[in-house]
Structure 1
Amino acid sequence: MDVSEGRVTVSVPEQPEQGAGDAVFYNPEQELNRDLTVAALRAYRDRAAAGEVDGPPPRSYLDATAASGIRGIRAAAAGFDATCCDVDPDAVELARENFAHNELEGTAVHRDANALMHEERYDVVDLDPFGTPVPFVDAACNAARSLLCVTATDTAPLCGAHFQSGVRSYGAVPRNTEFHAEMGLRVLLSALVRTAARYDVAAEPVLSHSAPHYARTYLELTSGARAADALLEELGYVDWCPDCYWRTTRHGLVHDPTTDCGNCGRTTKPAGPLWLGRTHEDAFLARTREHVKGLYDELGVARAVGRTLDRLDGELAEPTHYDQHKLFGNWGEPAIGMDGFIQRLREVGHEASRTHYGGTTFKTTADVGALAELFA
């Protein structure tokens, strides 16, 4: 079947209903992810052209696990020298056909992605595998010069729902909390930052977001042990109470957990090491937003992307969020409208914002005890 996204049309096999099977994989639910990728790539090129980063604007782009090649082909349509890599010969042939069908220059190679990334370098490396990206990250840190883009679709291990799998894959203790989407994103960022630091590379997130079935981040890479050490200082732990949803954070890789909840006194659970720093850079987010707004007629779900970025722009830089409905349910009270809820927090002097993690999620400088005093 033919599928159109942005300025390209690609041929992909009919997909099984459950997304499994032997056919070359294409995931229509990732269109928002790919639309945002196009805008972010253009924004990063503008950033480099303005002299805001070292080196010339990026040109080469690797889609390391290409499947149908849709991501690499869209990068080629955005003006990048794109390479699609896959271990499946059918996928490689399909990517070649799709480059030709769209009259785009591009390379499709039948290789193991890790082997290729240990041999070649690219300005931008994009990891969008099925499941965890961890098996590819070491090689990607070797191959990427400027920007590393990473998608993780194994959300259950990331957020702690599959606890042991999360520990094995990401070298961290995840917890299945009411802020599970942010837990997953920060577990992923922690693993990526720590992996890059092993090679004296600082991998700093300039844009990140979470969606129902994946987490996605864009990391700007800078060589140097000092830069990598500085980012390691943004790692730390969250101690979380599963009974009242109180939590506290502490920076550092050596953790002295707070075992008793500061609100209800019950036993807390530690999670980490997590990335506790900002998940995006304001200037890069602004550039990306402008590109999305300018591409509403070109990108299939650009208005949805725009709404995600608008919500990101207003998020407080707190390392965790709350779910308003879960709090009110815990208190045995009926929830109130989110706009009025946020306004009330601000009126009494707390910073507060909605988040992109869900319609009833919010961030605030108030702790759960202060929230209960106001609303319970």
Structure 2
Amino acid sequence: MSNDEACRIVGINPKTGRRWRNGRSAEPGRRRAAPPLTGAVPPTGPSRYLDETERIRIADLNHEGKPLRAIAAEPGRAPSTISREIRRNATVDPRGQRRYRPYAAQSRAQARRPRPKPSKIALNPELRTRVQSLLEDRWSPEQISRRLRRDFPDRPELHVCHETIYQALYVQGRGHLRRELAAALRSGRARRRPRRQAQQRRPRFATPMVMISERPAEVADRAVPGHWEGDLIIGKDNASAIGTLVERSTRYVMLLHLPRGRTAELVREALAATVQTLPRHLARSITWDQGSEMAAHGAFTTATDIPVYFCDPASPWQRGSNENTNGLLRQYFPKGTDLSTHSPEHLDAVAVQLNGRPRKTLGWDTPAERLTELLHTSN
């Protein structure tokens, strides 16, 4: 818009509009602009909240017709953040069209930020009465929240999140529901049980784990043989298991016989007995997940001098070769079957057959051929 049109909509003199836009000149003898009523404190570092500068840039790119992902890439924000910002803080112009105006968006965001806000339950007596009545009938907060939305779809003032109900019961200073109603909760607790923070969690094993991030670089590029990945494949009802070991550079497979179970001691004994059949230069390290069967990893390392590295939680790709091999082994050991019935001889026969298959990743060599080549080279 032109300056005159913008000033007409806002309701100010065009000369005032030019001063707002361009600022007063600093020539000697002329009155300077007054300071703002509330000084803005510059952020000390990256913030999770959008600031005014980012909102101005978002408005410029949005006016240019850039897609959301392109707008998000410039300030380094998530596309969902930009989408939510435009949706929540856009305004409707006199012609009924939604426009994203950065200064208006900044004002709206600042107005929403002050905490604590008054509770919706405290502000609405009807809602408070309904929630208290249903709590006395021993409904859970989630049941109350969902049912109010279903029973009163056209009355948003009666819609409340279940977390808001918990806050009204538990949080001191926001307890707008009768405190004795907390006894009606299934937990029976009058206050929330705090969860441990990440840094306060108990260690998984008695011996501290060495994580995969501390593994030598030679393991990651598969240039040096002798680094293995391990896991268990589990049988019917989690009652039986077979241990698997895969060498990272040759994809050679070795299977652990575990007929008496998969406790930490049994796995340690089977693993130690298996790796001790290898030449020292082909037994450099083992990478495993954080399963409880490796609780005795410290004793294993002491007995064999082979370090054990642990993957991050829920990161199976960090043992990609082993995961792929476990999938191949399911052809011989289907899910839902009792794995304790297989003899050591049968496990050895399966390993021999699997190691005799040519692999695309090995240039159609077999794992057995690659391992034999390594043994001849070392001799």
Bigger relative contact order, structure 1 or 2 (CA pairs below 8 A, ≥6 apart): 1
TM-score bracket, shorter-length normalisation = under 0.3
Larger-gyration structure (1/2) = 2
TM-score (norm 2): 0.20
TM-score (norm 1): 0.20
